[in-house]
Amino acid sequence: MKTLTAEQREDIIWTTRGRHIVRITVEHEHVIEVGLIADNPHEAADIAIRMLNDGTLYDDTPENPVLVDSFQEPAGGGTVNADTVESLVGDEPWPEKGESVICLQKKDHAFAAARALVAAYEAGERDGGSIDWQAIDDAYQLALKAV
């Protein structure tokens, strides 16, 4: 892959169509809220930072439940940059998907499988207890994509 800087991109006139990978960065805030038992707010903040640093913040225990884990744009909107363009050469394949994309796709498949299983079960209830095994098989195939 060939990576071009913004200055190089401006100097090039593309004469043929090609495949390119664009890295887009979006400014955001990662917000995590966790329940803690402490003598005061300062101690609670210290405990939370220590837990984050030692990798136990996401343990999600009854004593320390993870309440929020989200990505949010900063107030007033965030900065969006298309800061890197990589051009693929010839028949070079697309790179492998990143772990975050794979995880999101597996989650989507798991929810689709759960919806399909619920729909098959509800259809069986409506039909007097007779379950359509093809619907169960379809739900199973969706579940396999999630694991």
Using pLDDT thresholds of 50, 70 and 90, give the confidence band for residue 4.
Answer: low
For residue range 28-49, list pLDDT tens digits in order: 888 899 999 999 999 999 999 9
Specify the pTM: 0.56
From CA 88, how far away is CA 3, in angstroms rounded? 9
DSSP, collapsed to helix, strand or coil, labels residue 5 as coil
Phi-psi map region of 86: left, alpha, beta (phi>0 left; psi -120 to 50 alpha) = beta
From CA 3, how far away is CA 111, in angstroms rounded? 37
From CA 54, how far away is CA 67, in angstroms rounded? 19
Q: How confident is the model over 17-30, as a mean pLDDT?
A: 83
For residue range 62-120, list pLDDT tens digits in order: 999 999 998 888 777 777 777 777 888 888 888 898 898 899 999 999 999 999 999 99
pLDDT the model gives residue 16? 61
From CA 123, how far away is CA 146, in angstroms rounded? 23
pLDDT the model gives residue 143? 92
> Using an 8 Å Cβ cutoff, are 88 and 22 in contact?
no
From CA 57, how far away is CA 49, in angstroms rounded? 8
Q: In this structure, what token pair is assigned to residue 49? A: 């930072």
From CA 121, how far away is CA 135, in angstroms rounded? 9
**Which carries the bigger pLDDT value, residue 115 or residue 129?**
115
Q: In this structure, what token pair is assigned to residue 11? A: 């100097």
pLDDT the model gives residue 89? 80
Q: How confident is the model over 133-147, as a mean pLDDT?
A: 92
